[in-house]
Amino acid sequence: MTGKAPKVETGDIRLAKLMASLRAQGVTNPAVTRAIESTPRDLFTPDLFQERVWEDSALPIACGQTLSQPFIVGLMTQALRLERRSRVLEIGTGSGYQTTILSKLSRLVYTIERYRTLMTAAELRFKQLDLTNIITKFGDGGLGWPEQAPFDRIMVTAAASDEPEILLGQLKPNGVLVAPIGKGPVQVLKRYTGDGHGGFAVESMTEVRFVPLLDGVAKDL
């Protein structure tokens, strides 16, 4: 007699396990967990890694970039303290996964990407998902988007080597900015909350690993 074949988990079961893991790690805001649960991560994942879609891990995408770990996506989104009327600036569109989640929780998302290849692919995904509150820009994210400032919230999805002064200058007086800060392979995720008078309360949240925030725009790959 041969033993029973191992039971293959469906996508729904794997998603449910992922959501339970995120909640256990502290991603408990109901609006954030609903946004993650309703976003088809497989749409943003390269074919080569489809079997790992619902793992709580970062995955490679084009241009040497990464699709962030779901826990980090949830943690950073939750840390922004989004409101439905928020105008959000995202630095680093990447695959568009984090952008999509932000779009479900805010009024408008302005997102900047330095790789045209990634931007074009993300725009197609936004269209496929019928997301109409995302405004994209191919450019240098470190410079922000001064023409559209000030923003209620800013999320940086690449590691700034130091305090992002230019981006903080584009934040509303009581706004919130969340970014990984540090020069090495491991950075500290920080939250800057405006005090209404030009100053910021700064909180160190956890250690993270992000690709560096680079100047300029990239050559097409």
Among residues 44, 107, 115, 113, the alpha carbon closest in space to that of 73 is found at 44
Q: What is the DSSP letter of 84?
A: T
Q: What's the half-sphere exposure (Cβ side, CA atoms, 13 Å) at 70?
A: 32
Q: What is the pLDDT of residue 11?
A: 77
55: its two tokens? 């793992």
Q: What is the pLDDT of residue 221?
A: 52
Q: What is the pLDDT of residue 30?
A: 97
The CA distance from 46 to 95, in Å, is 10
Q: What is the pLDDT of residue 1?
A: 47
Q: Is 116 helix (H, G, I), strand (E, B) or coil?
A: helix
Q: What is the pLDDT of residue 4?
A: 56
Q: Omega before 146 cis (within 30°)? A: no
State the alpha helices, DSSP H only, in 63-214: 70-79, 97-103, 116-128, 165-168
Specify whether the CB–CB gap between 57 and 82 falls below 8 A: no
Specify whether the CB–CB gap between 180 and 187 falls below 8 A: yes
- Only one residue has tokens 């890694």, namely 49
25: its two tokens? 């790690």
148: its two tokens? 């559209």
Question: pLDDT tens track of the chain, all 221 residues?
Answer: 455 544 556 778 999 999 999 999 999 999 999 999 999 999 999 999 999 999 999 999 999 999 999 999 999 999 999 999 999 999 999 999 999 999 999 999 999 999 999 999 999 999 999 999 999 999 999 999 999 999 999 999 999 999 999 999 999 999 999 999 999 899 999 999 999 999 999 999 999 999 999 999 987 65
Known catalytic membership, residue 161: no
Q: What is the pLDDT of residue 142?
A: 95
The CA distance from 5 to 167, in Å, is 54
Q: What is the pLDDT of residue 219?
A: 78
State phi, psi for 58 to the nearest 5 degrees: -75, 150
Q: What is the pLDDT of residue 3?
A: 56
Catalytic residue of the set 68, 95, 103, 106: 68
- pTM of the predicted structure, to 2 decimals: 0.93
11-208 maps to which CATH number?
A: 3.40.50.150
